[in-house]
């Protein structure tokens, strides 16, 4: 009989998206590095989101699987990015992220999620995001291809989907309420603007256009859910949790397609 953790990992791969198989391949080129660096941004927010959902009691089993798999994936990709770093300043960024990650990972995994620790998780997730963003930008700046920018922009959409959900769940759990509204509104504007830019990209294939249209449809539903205040039944928080994962799944496919476009 499979152990519960093994079953959880299998279910996550089947029900969410093939994030782990994609990430386990070694970095092969600069676009691959930008993709993984950008995915670290997303994971910094996704882990906090899952932490808050566990604390709220929202889709608890799935949220635990998301947290556990995201912690493992962040670990593996960080090791790859440190090894790949093509310049001293980029390696320095990832060494700083590694140091912060030790603190963030411990906060995420050493105790049962609780509101007293929630504000610290919120702050650490933003610090991790800042360094992960710095590394992604440094990598993109070394590229001379148009596709690198598309990989970065599409990859950032993954992060924004999780960031909006993170702040929504923080509000539902009464953590960081004073900053959540402004942060969600800013991320909304950025997500909408980037979605328009990606839709107008001249190199979009039919498959990319189809996936971008799917994200536009998902975004309408997600944006509506974000505009509804949390309720005592946790139904709205659950909607935000599941919809943010659907958008993430589709954006993951889009980023991979941009990564593989001809240079």
Query: What is the SS3 assignment for the chain?
Result: CCCHHHHHHHHHHHHCCCHHHHHHCCCCCHHHHHHHHHHHHHHHHHHHHHHHHHHHCCCHHHHHHHHHHHHHHHHHHHHHHHHHCCCHHHHHHHHHHHHHHHHHHHHHHCCCCCHHHHHHHHHHHHHHHHHHHHHHHHHHCCCCCHHHHHHHHHHHHHHHHHHHHHHHHHHHCCCCHHHHHHHHHHHHHHHHHHHHHHHCCCCCCHHHHHHHHHHHHHHHHHHHHHCCCCCCCCHHHHHHHHHHHHHHHHHHHHHHHHHHCCC
How confident is residue 6, by pLDDT bands cut at 50, 70 and 90?
A: very low
- Domain carrying residue 110: 4-260
Q: Is the pLDDT of residue 126 over 60?
A: yes
In the chain, how many domains are there? Answer: 1
What is the percent of the chain where pLDDT is above 70?
A: 90
Which whole number is the average pLDDT over 183-202? Answer: 98
> pLDDT tens, 58-89?
999 999 999 999 999 999 999 999 999 999 99
Tell if the pTM clears 0.85, that is, is over it. yes
Question: What is the pLDDT, as a whole number, of residue 18?
Answer: 39
Query: What is the number of other CB atoms lying within 10 angstroms of the CB of residue 26?
Result: 9
- pLDDT cut 90: percent of the chain above it: 86
């Amino acid at each position: 009989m499979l152990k519960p953790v093994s079953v959880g990992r299998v279910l996550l791969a089947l029900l969410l998206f093939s994030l782990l198989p994609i990430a386990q391949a070694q970095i092969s080129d600069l676009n691959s590095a930008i993709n993984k660096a950008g995915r670290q941004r997303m994971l910094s927010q996704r882990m906090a989101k899952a932490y808050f959902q566990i604390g709220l009691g929202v889709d608890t089993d799935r949220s635990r699987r998301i947290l556990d798999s995201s912690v493992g994936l962040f670990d593996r990709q960080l090791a790859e990015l440190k090894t790949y770093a093509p310049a001293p300043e980029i390696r320095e960024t990832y060494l700083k992220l590694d140091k912060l990650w030790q603190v963030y990972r411990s906060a995420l995994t050493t105790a049962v999620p609780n509101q007293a620790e929630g504000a610290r998780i919120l702050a650490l997730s933003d610090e991790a995001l800042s360094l992960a963003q710095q590394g992604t930008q440094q990598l993109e700046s070394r590229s001379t291809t148009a596709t690198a920018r598309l990989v970065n922009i599409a990859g950032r959409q993954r992060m924004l989907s999780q960031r909006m959900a993170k702040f929504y769940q923080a509000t539902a759990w009464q953590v960081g309420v004073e900053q959540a509204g402004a942060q969600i509104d800013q991320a909304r504007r950025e997500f909408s603007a980037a979605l328009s830019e990606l839709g107008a990209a001249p190199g979009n294939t039919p498959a990319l256009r189809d996936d971008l249209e799917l994200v536009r449809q998902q975004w309408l539903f997600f944006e509506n859910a974000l505009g509804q205040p949390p309720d005592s039944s946790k139904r709205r928080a659950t909607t935000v949790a599941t919809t943010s994962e659907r958008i993430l799944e589709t954006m993951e496919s889009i980023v991979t397609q941009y990564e593989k476009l001809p240079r």
